[in-house]
Amino acid sequence: MSCTDPTALLTSFRQALPPVARMGEDLVGKGVMVDGPFGPKPLVYADYVASGRALKALEMFLLEKVLPYYANSHTEASFCGGFMTRLRAAARATIADHCGAGPEHAVIFAGSGATAGINRLVHLLGADHGKVKVILGPYEHHSNILPWRESGAEVVELPEAGDGGPELAALDAALADKADYDRVICAFSAASNVSGIIADVAGLTRRVKDAGALMVWDYAGGGPYLPMAMDQQGAGIDALVFSPHKFIGGPGASGVMVLRRDAVVAEHPTWVGGGTVRFVSSDGHDYSGALEAREEAGTPNVVGDIRAALAVIVKEEIGADHMAQRNAELAARAIAAWQAEPGIELLGNTGAARLPVLSFRLRDPRGGYIHQQLATKMLSDRFGIQARGGCACAGPYVLRLLGFDTEAAARIRAAILSGQELEKPGFVRLNLSVLMSEAEVDFILQSVATLSRDAVAHVSSYEVDGARAIFSASAA
């Protein structure tokens, strides 16, 4: 096949992917052993919510079809530069189609993950000038909190409703109080990266748009699993961001932002640099009229941009229906198994619609908990299971989940700032993937249950660096 037709090339990648039933065997790292203090263990990856895993088919496509012709884009004069420019445009079109974006929308490759996109939105939507109110949901990751706080806008955090999602009465009250503001922006997570709880994207979008506010959706946690659409049953989203590196096949992919062109109030780029201008002289300069060009300063991450589209294609080939059904099954199965274990405390509303993103604490016999970093270390050392301990960069939500009031949070903050990292509260988080075999799922569920019963017996085998909250086996 000629490499000069980027659309046909992306179609060939789609057709060459293994069927879903065999895609798990195509993951890079399948069958790898990991060393540990208790001997080598088969690697069991359960940290997809932090970052996805590479696929051999995708890596081979890049190796054979893209990298031989790699060059910087921004030119049509040379073969390689022109081909990369067109392939990157085809990647952008693939993502636009996946998100239901039309000519009225811009698809922008925005650095690493959703973070860069949200930081851009602060400027593009005008949160950094004038009198602006930003309303945040109850589950927000730090990337959807800190940029808005630093913008100078007034930030309102909504409480969680009893059945999951933002508390609607509080949302309505915050939306109604708009007379003194130039604009109101709502920024919500489509799914919590802690509890996996899924938001009612369509219903909340309609509510926000009916009130005359802007609607921003953060799909960093939900994008790999949920449909994304700029039109939500007739209500248009103003912007969404997502992190393709969290998709299956996505490691190394660029972050993506999709937004309505008419929602943009900024006339200058968020970051200036090469590629954003039409002309520069010693006396002045003129910025491009194309939003995509203005917001993608400098040499693009060409391979990362293409990889983002390839990861989206993988998601599409797995299929939205299969993804939804399998994720619901996995979440229900894990909740049922672990609720039967007295030593496991699952976090979040287990009755709400949720992804198989599972955060938990392990109880000890004294009424306390095994430190989350130690429990995570034990899962890796004893079972080869790769999970994550901490607060999942969602501090406000986690403090509420764990029952810490303002005074307790202040004490924890003081301890951490004094160098006692061990005092930071948290949990173990892992998630189950649609590509996992039944045996892998059983192994993870049973291993966590086993650890909940006997972790205390192994605590003495570890020592800790309290300043960094890093545990290591004494025999290591």
Q: Does any domain span residue 190?
A: yes
Tell me what pLDDT residue 17 has: 97
Examine the domain organization and report whether 297 and 336 are in the same domain.
no
Q: Does any domain span residue 12?
A: no
Q: In whole angstroms, what is the distance from residue 364 CA to residue 44 CA? A: 25
pLDDT at 135 over 70: yes
Tell me what pLDDT residue 365 has: 87
Q: Do residues 424 and 416 touch, judged by C-beta distance below 8 A?
A: yes
Examine the domain organization and report whether 424 and 283 are in the same domain.
no
- How many distinct helices (H) and strands (E) make up the chain? 15, 21
> What domain range includes position 120?
66-317
Q: Rounded to a whole number, what is the largest CA-CA distance in the chain?
A: 73
Question: Last residue of some domain: 317, 339, 373?
Answer: 317
Query: What is the percent of the chain where pLDDT is above 90?
Result: 93
Task: Convert the pLDDT of each residue in 282-336 to its tens digit.
Answer: 999 999 999 999 999 999 999 999 999 999 999 999 999 999 999 999 999 999 9
Examine the domain organization and report whether 112 and 186 are in the same domain.
yes
User: What is the tally of structural domains in the chain?
Assistant: 2
Examine the domain organization and report whether 285 and 336 are in the same domain.
no
Cα 330 vs. chain centroid, distance in angstroms?
A: 19
| Residue pointed to by tokens 């998709």 | 247
Examine the domain organization and report whether 377 and 403 are in the same domain.
yes
Tell me what pLDDT residue 475 has: 60
CATH number at residue 217: 3.40.640.10
Residue 306 to residues 10, 232, 242, 403, 411, Cα–Cα distance (Å): 10, 27, 15, 43, 46
Query: What is the percent of the chain where pLDDT is above 70?
Result: 99
Higher-confidence position of 229 and 3: 229
Task: Convert the pLDDT of each residue in 400-446 to its tens digit.
Answer: 999 999 999 999 999 999 999 999 999 999 999 999 999 999 999 99
pLDDT at 3 over 70: no
pLDDT at 392 over 80: no
pLDDT at 25 over 80: yes
Examine the domain organization and report whether 292 and 399 are in the same domain.
no
Examine the domain organization and report whether 304 and 357 are in the same domain.
no
Tell me what pLDDT residue 231 has: 95
Q: In whole angstroms, what is the distance from residue 378 CA to residue 238 CA? A: 44
pLDDT at 61 over 60: yes
For 295-352, where are the alpha helices, taking DSSP H only?
302-318, 320-339
pLDDT at 233 over 50: yes
Q: In whole angstroms, what is the distance from residue 137 CA to residue 199 CA? A: 10
Q: What DSSP character marks residue 185?
A: E
Q: Does any domain span residue 2?
A: no
Question: Last residue of some domain: 281, 302, 317?
Answer: 317
Tell me what pLDDT residue 438 has: 97
Tell me what pLDDT residue 207 has: 98
Question: Last residue of some domain: 294, 317, 340?
Answer: 317
Q: Does any domain span residue 295?
A: yes
Q: In whole angstroms, what is the distance from residue 352 CA to residue 372 CA? A: 24
Examine the domain organization and report whether 350 and 401 are in the same domain.
yes
pLDDT at 113 over 90: no
Examine the domain organization and report whether 102 and 202 are in the same domain.
yes
| Region of residue 218 (phi > 0: left; psi between -120 and 50: alpha; otherwise: beta) | beta
Q: Do residues 194 and 347 touch, judged by C-beta distance below 8 A?
A: yes
Examine the domain organization and report whether 396 and 249 are in the same domain.
no
Examine the domain organization and report whether 341 and 304 are in the same domain.
no
- Contacting residues for 340 by C-beta, under 8 A, at least 6 apart: none
CATH number at residue 446: 3.90.1150.10
Tell me what pLDDT residue 1 has: 43
Average pLDDT rounded to a whole number, residues 228-247 = 96
Q: Do residues 215 and 417 touch, judged by C-beta distance below 8 A?
A: no
Q: Does any domain span residue 29?
A: no
Average pLDDT across the chain, whole number: 95
Q: Does any domain span residue 469?
A: yes
pTM over 0.85: yes
Task: Convert the pLDDT of each residue in 152-200 to its tens digit.
Answer: 999 999 999 988 899 999 999 999 999 999 999 999 999 999 999 999 9
Tell me what pLDDT residue 2 has: 54
Examine the domain organization and report whether 248 and 100 are in the same domain.
yes
Q: Does any domain span residue 11?
A: no
Average pLDDT rounded to a whole number, residues 257-265 = 97
The neighbouring-strand residues paired with 260 are 105
Q: Does any domain span residue 55?
A: no
